[in-house]
């Protein structure tokens, strides 16, 4: 008796299978080509962005140095202006142990 419900291998190949397989292969090659192009473009973009980042970092560092120099100059001017005056933090009235103003202060 012959079984009719099981699967079997056929030595023949249908034209539909050949066309489908060829189409899939072509589609995969096109996809791989586009991915290669896209990857190359992303690498170029990444290199450009790295160069921009380096320039911005250098500019930021230069601005920081300029700000520090300006602050030093401002501090020197303030020191010359104030002369022998007490620093501001010592001019604030202090409190005695009871929490009230110390004697001799307002």
Domain-located, residue 77: yes
Q: Give the chain's mean pLDDT.
A: 84
Q: What's the pLDDT at 97?
A: 59
Could you list the residue range(s) of the whole structural domain that residue 67 is in?
Answer: 58-83
Domain-located, residue 32: no
Q: What's the pLDDT at 5?
A: 72
Domain-located, residue 72: yes
What's 44-106 look like in SS3?
HHHHHHHHHHHHHHHHHHHHHHHHHHHHHHHHHHHHHHHCCCCCHHHCCCCECCCCCECCCCC
Domain-located, residue 63: yes
How many structural domains is the chain composed of?
1
The model carries a pTM of 0.46
Domain-located, residue 25: no
Q: What's the pLDDT at 7?
A: 84
Domain-located, residue 16: no
pLDDT digits (tens, 9 = 90+) for 30-80: 999 999 999 999 999 999 999 999 999 999 999 999 999 999 999 999 998
Q: What's the pLDDT at 89?
A: 55
Domain-located, residue 74: yes
Domain-located, residue 73: yes
């Amino acid at each position: 008796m012959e079984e009719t419900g099981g699967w079997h291998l056929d030595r023949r190949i249908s034209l539909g299978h050949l066309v489908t397989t060829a189409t899939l292969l072509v589609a995969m090659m096109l996809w791989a080509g586009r991915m290669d192009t896209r990857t190359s473009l992303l690498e170029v973009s990444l290199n450009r962005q790295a160069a921009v980042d380096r320039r911005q970092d250098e500019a930021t560092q230069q601005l920081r140095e300029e700000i520090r120099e300006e602050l030093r100059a401002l501090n020197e001017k303030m020191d010359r202006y104030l002369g022998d005056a007490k620093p501001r933090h010592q001019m604030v009235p202090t409190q005695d142990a009871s929490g009230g103003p110390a004697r001799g202060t307002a």
